[in-house]
Amino acid sequence: MLKKIIIAIDGPAGSGKSTAAKNIAQKLGFTYLDTGAMYRAITFIALRNGIAENIPAVIDMARRINLKLRFENGVTRVFVDDEEVTEQIRTAEVNGKVSDISRIPEVRAELVKIQKRLGDEGNIVAEGRDVTTVVFPNADLKIFLTASIDIRTKRRLKEFQDKNIAITFEEVKANLEKRDRIDSGREISPLKKADDAIELDNSAL
Ligand code: DC
């Protein structure tokens, strides 16, 4: 049997992980794994069910949820119990809460289990905050992708503008800074560069 290849990319929000990972996956015919989409789906359901502040209820939901990702034509479609939530997981409301939800260790444990299983199944390009350090520490290639905060804000702002969502540069920047702080400062699986990851700043690329 041929060896399965794992490419892992971590970095802060707006650093271009998804764009890079999607393109690599399409070119190589690998599976694309957007781990952030999984944390976003849990967050969206928690908000919709009114349980986002109730940690035991969120953990219980994360253990039962039937989460499916389908990568089609360059887009990751996300399904929860067969309901499509692809659009709903990218709202400002979800952006504002996802770092709090992804800080819950039991939620991470559930999602990491699923991610590792997907990694066992075939060639994969995975991106997130802990895929180079926790999910796939033995990945064949590890990239730590970064860009300046202003460039990352501009990129996210454009995504919102493309969807006709009214939001200011300052609001987007404040959300990114807040998420960077929580994602990098948390005790469990913080965003950090793995010792053997290649650091790539794509601010000007
Ligand atoms: O990459 P993204 O912006 O879609 O990720 C959304 C949030 O999910 C991010 O702010 C932190 C969390 N996340 C995480 O904690 N671990 C991952 N592997 C991926 C995302």
Mean pLDDT of 173-188: 92
What are the beta bridge partners of residue 7?
125, 141
- Interval between CA 180 and ligand 1 midpoint (Å): 10
Three-class DSSP category at 47: helix
Nearest to 13 by CA among 190, 156, 150: 156
Q: Whose CA is nearest to atom 3 of ligand 1?
A: 13
- Alpha-carbon distance values, 156 to 9, 13, 170, 175 (Å): 19, 9, 11, 10
The residue whose CB lies within 8 Å of the most ligand 1 atoms, and thus the one to mutate among 19, 108, 183, 186, is 183
Q: How far apart are CA 19 and CA 94, in angstroms?
A: 20
List own/partner pairs for 184-190 with CB under 8 A and 24 or more apart. 184/12, 186/103, 188/103, 188/105, 188/108, 189/108, 189/129, 189/130, 189/133, 189/134, 190/129, 190/130
Q: Looking at residue 72, what is its pLDDT?
A: 83
DSSP per-residue letters across 137-201: TT-SEEEEEE--HHHHHHHHHHHHHHTT----HHHHHHHHHHHHHHHHH-SSS-----TTPEEEE
How sure is the predictor about 1, in pLDDT bands with cuts at 50, 70 and 90?
A: low
- Alpha-carbon distance values, 41 to 24, 94, 137, 191, 192 (Å): 24, 9, 24, 20, 23
- Interval between CA 109 and ligand 1 midpoint (Å): 14
What are the beta bridge partners of residue 8?
126, 142
* pLDDT mean across residues, the chain: 94
Angle at 88 between CA 87 and CA 89, to 5 degrees: 95
Ligand 1 residue neighbourhood (C-beta within 6 Å):
13, 35-36, 39-40, 98-99, 102, 128-131, 179, 183
User: Per-residue pLDDT tens for 57-114?
Assistant: 999 999 999 999 998 887 889 999 999 999 999 998 999 999 999 999 999 999 999 9
Is pTM, for the whole model, over 0.75? yes
User: Per-residue pLDDT tens for 150-165?
Assistant: 999 999 999 989 989 8
- Interval between CA 34 and ligand 1 midpoint (Å): 9
